[in-house]
Structure 1
Amino acid sequence: MINLLFLMLERVGILVIVAFLLSRMKSFRQIIHNEHAFSEKMLLIAIFGTFGIISNYTGVEIHNSSISTQVWQTDLDYGSAIANTRVMGVAIGGLFGGPLVGLGVGVIAGLHRLTLGGFTAVACAISTILAGIVTGLVGKRFKKDEKNAPWRAVAIGIFMECIQMGIIIAVAKPFESALELVKIISFPMIAVNGFGTLLFMLIIQSILQEEERTRAFQTHKALYIADLTLPFFRQGLNAHSCRKVAEIILKWTNTDAVSITDQHQVLAHVGVGSDHHIPMRSMCTRLTKNALEHGRILKAESREEIQCFHKNCALQAAIVIPLKVHRKTVGTLKLYFTQTNQLDQVEQELSEGLAKLFSTQLELAEAELQSKLLKDAEIKALQAQVHPHFLFNAINTISALYRSEPEKARKLLLKLGAFFRSNLQGARQMLIPLQKELEHVEAYLSLEQARYPGKYTVSLAIDPSLEEVLIPPFTLQPLVENAIRHAFPKSFAKRKGHVTIRAFKQNEKMILITEDNGKGIPGGLLGSLGKENVTSTEGTGTALSNIRKRIEEIYGPDAAFHIESERDVGTKIVIMLPLSQYKWGDRHVEGFYSG
Structure 2
Amino acid sequence: MFELLLIMLERLGLIVMLAFIATRMRFFRDMLSPSELTRKQEYTAILFFGAFGIVGTYSGITFQAEPFLLQRLTTDVYNTEAIANFRVIGVVLAGLFGGYRVGAAAGVIAGGHRMMLGGFTGFACGIATIAAGIFAAWFRSRNPGVISKPLHVFAIGAAAEMMQMGLIVLLARPFTEALALVQHIALPMILANGIGCALFLLIIQSVAKEKEKAAAMQAQKVLRIAEQTLVHLKSGLTPQSATNVCSILYKELNLKGTEVKSADLTLSRIGENSDFLVTESLNSRDKVIGTVNFYFHSQITSLEKETLTGLANLLSSQLELGEADKLYKFAKDAEINALQAQINPHFLFNTLNTVISLVRINPEKARTALRALSKFIRQNLQSTTVSTNTLADEIEHIKSYLSIEQIRFEDRINVSYHIDDSCLHSKLPALTLQPIVENAVKHGFSEKISQCRLHITVEDSNDNVFLYIEDNGSGINEERLKTLASNIEESTDGNGIALYNINKRLEMTFGSDYGLQFKSQPDSGMSVYFKIPKVL
Whether 2:308 is the aligned partner of 1:351: answer: yes
TM-score (norm: length of structure 2): 0.60
Match of 2:102 in 1: 101
Q: Distance in 2 between matches of 1:188 and 1:91?
A: 18
Aligned to 2:363: none
Q: Partner residue of 2:49?
A: 48
2:74 corresponds in structure 1 to 72
Match of 2:221 in 1: 221
**1:533 maps to which of 495, 498, 507:** 507
**1:50 Cα deviation from its structure 2 partner:** 0.7
* 2:118 corresponds to: 117
Aligned partner letter, 1:138: F
Runs of 4 or more, structure 1, over 6 Å off, are 377-380
C-alpha distance after superposition, 1:126-162 (max 9, x if no partner): 211111111122334565796x422221111111111
Shift of 1:233: 1.4
Distance 1:88 1:211, change over 3 A: same
2:326 aligned partner, one-letter code: L
Q: Which letter maps to 2:102?
A: V
Report the alpha carbon displacement of residue 115 of structure 1 after superposing the two structures with TM. Answer: 1.2
Q: 1:138 to 1:367 in 2, by over 3 A?
A: farther
| Structure-to-structure mapping, 1:246-325, within 5 angstroms | 246-270=246-270, 272-273=271-272, 315-325=274-284
Write out aligned runs for 1:171-250 (5 A).
171-250=171-250
Cα distance in 2 between the residues matched to 1:89 and 1:531: 71
- Match for residue 126 of structure 1? 127
Partner of 1:150: 150
Aligned pairs for 1:364-379 (under 5 A) are: 364-374=321-331, 376=333
Q: 8 Å contact 2:168–2:178 — kept in the other structure? A: yes
In structure 2, give the amino acid aligned to 1:96.
F
The question of whether the paired residues in 1 share the 8 Å contact of 2:62 and 2:73 is answered with no
State the Cα deviation string for residues 298-336 of structure 1 (Å, max 9, x = none): xxxxx6xxxxxxxxxxx4532221111233210011222
Q: Deviations over 1:530-549 (max 9, x none)?
A: 553389xxx9459x99xxxx
Q: Do the aligned partners of 1:22 and 1:28 also contact (CA within 8 Å) in 2?
A: yes
Per-residue displacement from partner, 1:479-499 (whole Å, max 9, x unpaired)?
xxxxxxxxxxxxxxxxxxxxx
Alignment of 1:332 onto 2:332: no
The CA deviation string for residues 155-184 of structure 1, in whole angstroms up to 9 with x for no partner, is: 111111111112212222222222211111
The separation in 1 between residues aligned to 2:139 and 2:322, in whole angstroms, is: 52
Q: What stretches of structure 1 of length at least 5 have no aligned partner?
A: 274-302, 304-314, 381-527, 546-595
Name the CA shift for 1:70/1:336 in 2 (closer, same or farther; >3 Å): same
Query: What is the CA-CA distance between 1:377 and the residue it aligns to?
Result: 6.7
Name the counterpart of 1:509: none
2:343 corresponds to: none
Matched residues in 2 for 1:85 and 1:92: separation? Answer: 12
- Secondary structure of the corresponding residue to residue 330 of structure 2: helix
CA contact (8 A) 1:57 1:72 kept: yes
After superposition, give the CA deviation of every residue in 1:537-580 in whole Å (9 maximum; x if it has no partner). xx9459x99xxxxxxxxxxxxxxxxxxxxxxxxxxxxxxxxxxx
CA contact (8 A) 1:99 1:139 kept: no
Distance 1:86 1:355 in 2: 47
Question: CA 1:30 to 1:144, structure 2 compared with 1: closer, same or farther past 3 Å?
Answer: farther
Q: Describe the shift of the 1:355–1:168 C-alpha distance in structure 2 as closer, same or farther (beyond 3 A).
A: same
Which structure's CA Rg is the greater one?
Answer: 1
| Structure 2 counterpart SS, 1:533 | helix
Match of 1:558 in 2: none
Partner of 2:524: none
In the alignment, which residue of structure 1 is the partner of 2:406?
Answer: none
SS of the residue corresponding to residue 291 of structure 2 reads: strand
Quick one: structure 1 residues 343 and 167, their matched pair in 2 at CA, closer, same or farther if it must change by over 3 Å? closer
> In structure 2, what is the Cα distance between the partners aligned to 1:320 and 1:85?
47
Q: Distance in 2 between matches of 1:166 and 1:4?
A: 19
Give the fraction of aligned pairs with identical amino acids, expressed as a percent.
39
Residues 1:2 and 1:375: Cα distance change in structure 2 (over 3 Å): farther
1:360 and 1:144, CA in 2 relative to 1: closer, same or farther beyond 3 A?
A: farther
1:223/1:158 CA distance change after superposition, 3 Å: same
| Structure 2 counterpart SS, 1:131 | helix
1:222, CA displacement in angstroms?
A: 0.5
Give the drift of 1:379: 6.4
Whole-angstrom distance in 2 between the partners of 1:176 and 1:96? 38
